Amino acid sequence: MCRQIVNYKPAQLILLEQAETPLFDIENELLATHGEIPIVPVICDIYDRSRVMAVWDLYRPEVVIHAAAHKHVPMMERNPCEAVKNNILGTRNVADASCKYGAGEFVTISTDKAVNPSSVMGASKRVAEIYTQALNGSDHCATKFKAVRFGNVLGSNGSVVPTFRRQIAAGGPVTVTHPEMTRYFMTIPEAAQLVLQAAATGEGGQIYLLDMGEPVKIVDLARNMITLSGFRPEEDIDIVFSGVRPGEKLFEELRTDGEDTEPTVHPKVNIWMSRPTEWGQIEKAFAQFESLQNSPDRQRIIDAIRVLVPEYEPLNPPSQETQTPPAEAKAEEPTHAEAKR
């Protein structure tokens, strides 16, 4: 996003990032290519509400591109409270700060996994959409809130392409979860341009969808990458099916039942017509999220999310790989002194 935005010569570009090293790297890259633009690196965790408010108060951003999220589906299935903290409560913090300090435009980067979600990650992103949509047009907030949904971004951090590339370079095998697994794909420039298109158009309240064409079978992508690397699939490089992971669907969807899309001036961009959610219901749900932000109780988190996202149907829940030993078992363990004796 930053590489795209600097080409439009913003008056100032504020880079807000929780991780120090990536922030250092992108700051130096942008300074080398666009040294004439004021670049401001800010270390901040969006979950830290006081810090977020202080940063917004200091810099008063006019346009906010909200890309911070935990995005790995199986990881969030095993750590659901972290999806609540970052994807839900973190989004609330930056959205509230944008209202309070007068941001004009706020674009949430969402996902096709928010549609009829089957995972904690997708459902938490749908909650983020609902919260920001409810703020749009409210009496106390002049910020225009929009969301942008798209599928897998080719070559992005943690995506399947770098993973396959590493596996091929190591001589295989290439691991695919299921022979029928399909996903929508787009390139990094396509994704970035869609976000900027959303920021520049509309009066707020929209959820934008990109026409991503036909979904692609992951196994076909694997075979193509093996072939393009100069090898023969399943001869030189094996393909192994590892099984569907926690929270994953075989097919992603683009709209919720009973709702539809409408076109925009851009031929590849549509607007999803979403149902409004009452603010009182949102406040009640967020009080629950506050109480669950460090909870190990996965079912209570799922129940809280389903108050706002009733279409959320969990799939392939993670197995309990580790169990807390019962108190009786703990009591039988030798103490340090006993072990020494």
| pLDDT mean for each 10 residues of the chain (341 residues) | 92 97 97 96 97 98 95 94 97 98 94 92 96 91 91 71 92 93 82 79 82 84 93 94 88 64 74 83 96 95 96 86 37 37 34
What was the pLDDT predicted at 64?
Answer: 96
Nearest to 43 by CA among 81, 10, 82, 15: 15
What are the pLDDT digits (tens) for 32-90?
999 999 999 999 999 999 999 999 999 999 999 999 999 999 999 999 999 999 999 99
Instruction: Name residues whose C-beta falls within 8 Å of residue 202's C-beta, 6 or more positions apart in sequence.
Output: 144, 146, 208, 264, 271
What was the pLDDT predicted at 227?
Answer: 95
The secondary structure of residue 72, as a DSSP letter, is -
Nearest to 151 by CA among 115, 124, 180, 176: 115
Q: Which of 113, 144, 146, 249 is catalytic?
A: 113
What was the pLDDT predicted at 250?
Answer: 84
Q: Where are the alpha helices (DSSP H) in 201-278?
A: 218-228
The pair of three-digit structure tokens given for residue 143, joined into one six-digit string: 């910020």
What was the pLDDT predicted at 159?
Answer: 72
Residue 145 near residue 136, CB atoms below 8 Å? yes
Instruction: Name residues whose C-beta falls within 8 Å of residue 321's C-beta, 6 or more positions apart in sequence.
Output: none
Q: Which CATH class is domain 44-153+186-209+258-315?
A: alpha beta
Instruction: Name residues whose C-beta falls within 8 Å of residue 113's C-beta, 6 or more positions apart in sequence.
Output: 73, 119, 121, 122, 125, 252
What was the pLDDT predicted at 161?
Answer: 85
Report the 10 Å Cβ neighbour count for 200: 11
pTM above 0.75, yes or no: yes
Q: Respond yes or no: is residue 100 known to be catalytic.
A: no
What are the pLDDT digits (tens) for 220-259?
999 999 999 999 999 999 999 998 888 888 877 766 555 5
What was the pLDDT predicted at 317?
Answer: 85
Report d(CA 211, CA 241) in Å as an integer.
Answer: 29
